[in-house]
Amino acid sequence: MLSVGVWVGIVMLLLVAALGQRLVLLWFQWENFRSTRRKWHTVPVPKRWPSLGVIVPCCGVDPDLEQNLSSVLSQRLDRGEVIFVVQSLQDPAVPVIRRVQRRFAQVPSRLVVAGPAEQHCQKVHNLLAAIDSLSPTVEVLVFVDSDARLPSGWLDRLVGRLCTTNALAVSGYRVFVPQDRHWATYWACQLNAQVLALLGSNKLNPIWGGGWAIFRRHFEALGLRRCWDRAITDDLSITARLHHLGLRVCYEPGAAVATQVQFRLSSAWEFLVRQYTIGRCFLARWFHLILTSVAMQVLVFWLALGTVAALGPQAPQTPWLLGLLAALWSLGVGTTWFALTVNALYLRRLGQRYPGTWVQWIWSTLWPWNTLLHLAVLIHAKLKRHLLWRGIGYQLDRHGRVLRVSQPWPSTLPLPQAPPEPAASLHAPPSSRAA
């Protein structure tokens, strides 16, 4: 049995290690914010504007889908076209797409029908169908999710950065905009903010599938199409390949997009577990580093708190333990506060409503319990082998390859329906594979 003195010494060493971990995280956040702030104030201008193929996969009717698609067609598209891609013409998104196409008739756009996926996730299948339909003259591939609201000049910044940097690909990221005050919505938003605060100057930026660009010649020359063979995800599969080759992904904060979200505990849990499960499959080292780091923070904090309770207030070691515990709690609050402050700056730049500093205070103060929930999500993701995504079930192997696609998944709810089209829009021209 360990003596009290030895046990307290071990706990104090663990607290010091956890403090060092938090200090490194805070420094990392600060360095990335400095890079982000510099890029905010510069607009990259290429010598020549390339021909673009902007690909927008759609499935069902996301909140504000019509406004989101309109924001894509409102971008500067001097050279290029927009390709909307769906699984079938029965998709509820099709009437919305048709309506937006008519309103922006001056912008070149097409609708591609990909058919059901059999060997990879439906989104990847849709992207491949869209790429195959592109004109040979397209020089840059741009990928945009249908739930993203693009700000004015978004495409200029993304493609401009691609043409003026030595990175192979350029990516933005999502900024969650809470649509209600449910605690699960704020929980998912603050976890997303923690990721956002880590993007910037580092060489390990990931590609985010909701908004990224790459030269088509690089996409084909590096065989990135093969990364999508039986893949459950479009972005992290390519991220893993680029990192393996030692190639850099540039993060462009001016290409961040607002995404309207509204969660309950079940939907927030499903979303976060899915994200981490995909991360575990393709960026295993980083997933396990995050899992170990969060587990250590949880273990050390609650172990130290339990030790203080067991020793009692009169023990000579109690003040030292309480001091280290207070320092760890303060750094946990500080890193959470910093991430939420950066998130608030993004929201203001995107012209979105900011929930208020009271949200930052609550979620920062509740750091120990938030970290405990975070650990539970990571453990669930570590054990998960199947995913439900947009109503389709996927059975995975440990490398994230799709073993079986279930269409439809038995417990799937019907896709959200589009609002009825005006009578004049019912006479849309018939569509074939590319319409």
Question: What is the tens place of the pLDDT at every residue in 68-92?
Answer: 999 999 998 888 899 999 999 999 9
Report the residue count for the chain: 435
Residue 416: per-residue pLDDT: 45
* 349's tokens: 């730049």
Angstrom distance (rounded) from CA 299 to CA 292? 10
Whether the Cβ atoms of residue 107 and residue 79 lie closer than 8 Å to each other: no
Cβ density class 248-278: b for 16+ within 10 Å, e for less: bbbbbbbbbbbbbbebeeeebbebbbbbbbb
Question: What is the tens place of the pLDDT at every residue in 371-416?
Answer: 999 999 999 999 988 887 777 788 888 777 887 877 663 433 344 4
Residue 407: per-residue pLDDT: 64
Whether the Cβ atoms of residue 296 and residue 279 lie closer than 8 Å to each other: no
Q: What distances in angstroms separate CA 254 from CA 75, 194, 284, 355, 393, one per listed residue?
A: 14, 18, 29, 21, 34
User: Helices in 41-121 by DSSP H: which ranges?
Assistant: 65-73, 93-103
pTM: 0.87
| Mean of per-residue pLDDT scores for the chain | 88
Angstrom distance (rounded) from CA 107 to CA 96? 16
User: For the chain, what percent of residues have pLDDT higher than 70?
Assistant: 93
More confident residue, 350 or 43: 350
Partnered with residue 253 across adjacent β-strands are none
Report, as an integer, the average pLDDT of 316-345.
93
Residue 429 pLDDT level (bands cut at 50, 70, 90): very low
Angstrom distance (rounded) from CA 359 to CA 350? 19
pLDDT beyond 60 at 113? yes
Q: What distances in angstroms separate CA 239 from CA 105, 149, 173, 317, 408, one per listed residue?
A: 35, 23, 14, 48, 29
**Range of weakest confidence among 37-41, 357-361, 427-431:** 427-431
**Range of weakest confidence among 109-113, 266-270, 350-354, 386-390:** 386-390
Whether the Cβ atoms of residue 55 and residue 85 lie closer than 8 Å to each other: yes
Q: Cβ contacts of residue 325 below 8 Å, gap of 6+? A: 15, 301, 304, 305, 308
Domains located in the chain, CATH noted: 1-403 (3.90.550.10)
Residue 433: per-residue pLDDT: 40
Question: What is the tens place of the pLDDT at every residue in 246-305?
Answer: 999 999 999 999 888 899 999 999 999 999 999 998 999 999 999 999 999 999 999 999
Question: What is the tens place of the pLDDT at every residue in 140-150?
Answer: 999 999 988 99
* 319's tokens: 């003040």
Residue 404: per-residue pLDDT: 81
Residue 193: per-residue pLDDT: 94
Question: What is the tens place of the pLDDT at every residue in 363-372?
Answer: 888 899 999 9
User: What DSSP assignment string belongs to 186-224?
Assistant: HHHHHHHHHHHTT-SSSTTPPP-TTEEEEEHHHHHHTTG
